[in-house]
Structure 1
Amino acid sequence: MDHLLHLDRTLDELDPPRWTAAAADATHLVRKVHELRCVLLSELRPADLRTLITQQVALPYVLPLAVRLLLEEPLLDAYFYEGDLLLAAVEAPASAWALLPDLAARLRAVITTLPDAAFADLPRGAAEELARFVARTESPC
């Protein structure tokens, strides 16, 4: 299924059940995630995608949007630092990537083309996390 065909819909529409409004005493992050589920996929910004991915929300719909950006600019600065969206994506659970094997393969290919110097400004442990993602193989089951 091509998840990018749904750009005119929201996560609440695509990823049932719809979420109720965040509690009045919810944290800023919880309120933000609830709000993002009501935004059209076409209007989600890189920082929004990073937030949704790190919170593991609707990954089958969010990861393809992130990969689309990362194929063009692997070290995209979504919010915190260059490469933060890439790191969020590769840290998504293997079970989410198992649903998107072609996208995972394309992202792996992009990562392997990054020069060593690209890793210098990433947080400690990032290069290892990227290497683990590249080395990960899809389970046949």
Structure 2
Amino acid sequence: MGRVDHLLHLDRTLDELDPPQWTPPAADATRLVRTVHELRRVPLGALGAADLRTLVAQRVALPYVLPLAVRLLIEEPLLDAYFYEGDLLLATVNAPPAAWTLLPELAARLRAVITRLPEAEVAALPRGAAEELARFAAGTDTPG
């Protein structure tokens, strides 16, 4: 997969790799906030597709989370992480362009995966998804 140094830390947590360690969530925190806090204490290698979708969508520790998401998406681009087919892919392509600046090789690999998706499968994704994928694949706001 090229130079993906972050994958060498699969036994470490985001709290270890992405300081500072987060304090516990407030007592009245939403379920989403509590979940994200909990996921920061899970070793990277134990994060599942739904966990990665949550972290990417919430833009948490993207230099560590995006490589893991792309690794899954190379194998199964339209993976149903939690909500619907392609949800991890859409969360990933909507990561801020600045996050991809640190990961130009991964951005290029993901663009290649997207360009190979069958048109009918892209058309079956939620409204607006085809445009989001086309924008990312064109590389207009990502490096590479």
TM-score by structure 1 length? Answer: 0.96
Q: What does residue 121 of structure 1 align with? A: 124
Q: How big is the alpha-carbon RMSD for the aligned residues of Structure 1 and Structure 2?
A: 1.2
1:122 deviates by 0.6
Structure 2 gap ranges (5+): none
Q: Does 1:4 align with 2:10?
A: no
Q: Does 1:16 align with 2:19?
A: yes
Q: Deviations over 1:24-43 (max 9, x none)?
A: 00000000000000000000
Percent identity between the two aligned chains: 77
> Distance in 2 between the 1:121 and 1:44 partners?
27
Q: Does 1:53 align with 2:56?
A: yes
Displacement over 6 Å in runs of 4+: none
Structure 1 gap ranges (5+): none
Q: Secondary structure at the match of 1:60?
A: helix
Q: Deviations over 1:2-47 (max 9, x none)?
A: 1100000000000000000011000000000000000000000000
Q: What does residue 30 of structure 2 align with? A: 27
Q: What does residue 109 of structure 2 align with? A: 106
Q: What does residue 135 of structure 1 align with? A: 138
TM-score by structure 2 length? Answer: 0.94
Q: Does 1:79 align with 2:75?
A: no
Q: Deviations over 1:52-106 (max 9, x none)?
A: 0000000000000000000000000000000000000000000001100000000
Does the 8 Å CA contact 2:14/2:42 hold for their aligned counterparts? yes
Q: Deviations over 1:107-137 (max 9, x none)?
A: 0000000110111221100000000001124
1:139 deviates by 5.5
